[in-house]
Amino acid sequence: MKHEIVNGLELPKVGFGTWKIGGGASADHRSDKKSLAALLSALELGYTHFDTAEMYAGGHAEELLGQALRDSGIRREGLFITTKVSPEHLDYTSVLAGCEASLGRLGVEYVDLYLIHWPSRLMKLEESFRALNKLVGDGKVRHLGVSNFGLSLLERSRELSETPILTNQVPLSMLDRKYVRNGMLAYCQANAIVLTAYSPFEAGKFRASRVLADVAKRYSATPHQIALAWLCNQPRVITIPMSFDAAHQSENIDAADISLSPQDLAQLGQTPASGTRQ
């Protein structure tokens, strides 16, 4: 698997997102068996970066990820775990409490990356980062980042963080290129910040265009793999697709190793995509 290297840290180009693991906005225990099977399959396939959040399934996604990590027997040190603090928990005390709760649900002593999930109009970013910096100093968090931040908030976060901001996690796909057009990708590339692309398949709305299908055929790949490869071939970009299907998980992780030619990248750069995959 190809990696993105930033500030001496190696991040796999393709990680595993956990939105819909254990439910949606709240826990749905009827899906536990299916969710655990998906997590264990991903671990067996070699995924090492798992992205979750206290918001996902009301914290149950973190619980299930923690259970899968224990059941797998894989050493904690070989994994990179990301979780996020919710926008309603951004005051100093709540950030600290939120991290403690996430660590408890995950069953780990630290997380590799802790993100502000969404900015809030009511947040005092100075207080949020005072708590985040303390978490790093206390060894409970290795790296800090943000999610869904615009350029001005990202710049302010860099000023307030006592350690380099590792990532801004935003929606990015072949169809949704807002964060290319608004300059975010270029800013991250110029400032040693990883852009973590979520919803690379547009939350199930992906459908291959004819050009995308033609490119896929040249690489003996699926259009979904080429859509991921398009992201993975961008400097400073990683992505976190999710699938309950083991075959799709395997295809996703293999997409990281597809090296697209400059000609195909240029062609895909002008090619919108839309459609569906479960």
List active site positions: 56
> In the numeric block, which tokens belong to residue 257?
């190793």
Angle at 24 between CA 119 and CA 95, to 5 degrees: 35
Tokens describing residue 85? 């603090």
CA–CA distance, 252 with 225 (Å, rounded to integer): 6
Q: Are 68 and 98 in contact (CB under 8 A)?
A: no
d(CA 163, CA 145): 10
Residues whose CB is less than 8 angstroms from the CB of residue 260 and which lie 6 or more positions away in sequence, other chains included = 215, 219, 226, 229, 230, 233, 268
Sequence-separated (6 or more) residues with CB below 8 Å from residue 11: 3, 4, 5, 49, 80, 194, 238
